[in-house]
Amino acid sequence: MGVITIVGAGMMGSAMSYPASDNGHEVRLVGTPLDREIIEHAKETGYHITLKRQLPQGIKCYQIEELEEAIKDCDLLIGGVSSFGVDWFGKNVLPEIPKSLPVLSVTKGLHANDEGEFVAFPDYLAKMPGCEGLSLNAVGGPCISFELADRKDTVVAFCGHSIEILKKIKSMLSTDYYHINLTTDVMGLEMAVAMKNAYALGVSLAIGITESANGIGCKEDYNPEAGLFTQSAREIRRLLKISGGNAEQIIYGTGDLYVTVFGGRTRKIGTLLGRGLTYKQAAEELRGVTLESVAITKVVIEALKKQGEDLEQFPLLVHIYSLIKDDITVNVPWNDFEE
C-alpha cells in the first residue's frame, strides 16, 4: 500500500480520505490556512467539524506548516482546495513536491486567459512557476462529499493527459462504492462539471419562484425545474463545442448538476433570487458563504464576450449573469429557450 496526502481539509478533500483509507493506504490530511480549526479538532478527536463525521481510523492530520513532513515519501497528492484556492495551491504547494509525484485535484472551475480562451485548472496550474513537468489530474462528476464519506455508490471520472498515470491513480482509489471512469479529455470534463454550479443556480430559480407564489417550504413545481435543467444541458453542450471538449462529457456535467440542485449553497442562492431578492440582498443573507456559482458565471460570460461568441445561444446563463451583475430581480426568459 502507499501514502496519500490530501492538501485542503474542506468537505470534499476530506471525503477523499475514505476510499483512500479503505484501500489500506496511509492517509495524511493537511489543512490550508483556512482549515486550522478543522485540523486542530481532528488531531484531538478524529472528528471533522464541517463534514460532521468521524474521519477514518489512523488518518494523520497536519497544519500547513507541516507540509514538508506530510509529503515525505508520498505516492499521490490530492488537492482539496476550492476554486478560490487554486492560485494559492499552485504557488504554495505544488512547487514544493517532487516532479514524480502525481496530483489529483477535486477542484471544479475554469480559468480564462486575456483572450477569453478557456483553460482547465490542471492546465492553468501546469503553467505556474515551479509546476512545470508535474502530472496534474482532476476529478469530475456527481459526488456529494458527505455521501462519499458514508460510502454511498458514487460514479466519477478522472481526467489527465496520461492514461497510464490515470490508471495508477484509479488503482489507488477505486473501491466497491467509488466507481471511477478515465478520460484524457481534460477540457471536456472540466468544462462540463465546472458549469454545474452556475446552472444549478439557474435551476434553483424555479424553487424560489414557486415559494414566492405559494410560501416558503411549499411543494416544489418540477416542470419549471425540469425546463431549466433541460436548457442548462443545452447550453453546457454548446460550451463544450466552443471550448473544444468532447460532447460526451455532458453526462458528467448533467449528473453533477442533478446532485447540486438538491442542496447546498448554490441551491440557496438560486432559491433566494427566485423568491425575488436582488443579488445584493441574497448575498447579504448568505454572508460568509463561498459562492463558486457566481465566480464561474462571471468567468464564462466575460470570456465568451472576448471571444465574440453570440450570447443569444446562452439565454439562461446571460440571465444569471444579469441577476448578479445588474442586481435585477428574476424574470426567466422562457421564450428565448426555444430552438
At residue 1 the predicted structure's pLDDT band, cuts being 50, 70 and 90, is confident
Strand order in the sheet with 76-79: 60-62, 26-30, 3-7, 76-79, 103-105, 136-140, 154-159, 178-183
Where in 24-98 does DSSP place strands (E)? 26-30, 47-48, 53-54, 60-62, 76-79
Q: Give the CATH superfamily of 3-184.
A: NAD(P)-binding Rossmann-like Domain (3.40.50.720)
Would you kindly state where each structural domain of the chain is located, as residue ranges?
3-184, 192-337
Record the cell numbers describing residue 337, joined without a space: 429557450
pLDDT at 52: 97
Q: Cell numbers for 13, please give them.
A: 478533500
Q: Kindly report the pTM of this predicted structure.
A: 0.95
Which CATH superfamily does the domain covering 192-337 fall into?
Answer: N-(1-d-carboxylethyl)-l-norvaline Dehydrogenase; domain 2 (1.10.1040.10)
Q: Is 54 helix (H, G, I), strand (E, B) or coil?
A: strand
When pLDDT is cut at 50, 70 and 90, the band that residue 281 belongs to is very high
pLDDT at 259: 95
What pLDDT band is residue 221 in, cutting at 50, 70 and 90?
very high
Of residues 71, 74, 92, the one with CA closest to residue 169: 74
